[in-house]
Amino acid sequence: VTVAFTGGEAASPAHVHKLQRLRPGIRVVNGYGPAESMGFTTTHTIEPGDEPHTLVPVGAPLVNKAAYVLDPHLNLCAPGVTGELYLAGEGLAHGYLGRSDLTATRFVPNPFATDGGRLYRTGDLAHFDRHGRLHYDGRADDQIKIRGFRVEPGETEAALLTHRAVTQAVVTVHHEQLAAYVV
């Protein structure tokens, strides 16, 4: 059996459908997991169909990994309710080298573990459906993704504002490209 893996936040239903039509019998698995969790944390096998799926879940946690959708008070969200996605389990990074400040905000104590484990705060919004599948719903912060690269608009705006002729700057996405507007 040939298996194709997709990775990232949300697989394109149209691309998956096209691949399944061009390669009948191929098994397509959508995976999710930032670098801080050492590769995939969740996966979902995409069943072929006559039409593209409306949405492609990012799946369910792998063995020895966990995914939690939490509200701002670190309470579990009910199925169907969007919250911030936190990850735990094997392969979770210890933090960011030389960035204890960032480590402290992104790697937080795990209220669901008795062993002193930690959760990684992904900054992604997600929800579980009633079948236990995780769905990606976007970002909880201003971070954007352009051609697979994560960009912090605020950092780019700050760099633009260092130029003596720039008094205001806004960075956003326009037609799938990074765009800066300056005064």
Both 72 and 115 in a single domain?
Answer: yes
Angle, alpha carbons 58-62-68 (nearest 5°): 65
Both 50 and 135 in a single domain?
Answer: yes
pLDDT tens track for 52-74: 888 888 889 999 999 999 999 99
pLDDT tens track for 33-57: 888 998 899 999 888 888 888 888 8
Residue whose tokens read 């590769």 = 39
Q: How far is CA 172 from CA 36, 45, 99, 155, in A?
A: 25, 33, 26, 12
Alpha helices in 5-143 (DSSP H): 13-22, 100-106
Both 135 and 118 in a single domain?
Answer: yes
Both 161 and 125 in a single domain?
Answer: no
End-to-end CA distance of the chain: 56
Both 26 and 40 in a single domain?
Answer: yes
Give residue 155's Cα distance to chain centre: 20
Both 64 and 126 in a single domain?
Answer: yes
Expressed as residue numbers, the domain containing 168 is 145-182
What's the pLDDT score for residue 8?
67
CA distance 148 to 183: 29
Residue 62 DSSP code? P
Both 173 and 126 in a single domain?
Answer: no
Both 178 and 163 in a single domain?
Answer: yes
- Say how many domains are in the chain: 2
pLDDT tens track for 74-94: 999 999 999 999 999 999 999
CA distance 58 to 33: 9
Q: Is the pLDDT of residue 100 over 80?
A: yes
Rg of the chain taking only CA atoms, in angstroms: 19
Q: Identity (one letter) of the amino acid at 23?
A: R
Check which CATH number belongs to the domain holding 77 and give it. 2.30.38.10
Both 63 and 104 in a single domain?
Answer: yes
Both 8 and 66 in a single domain?
Answer: yes
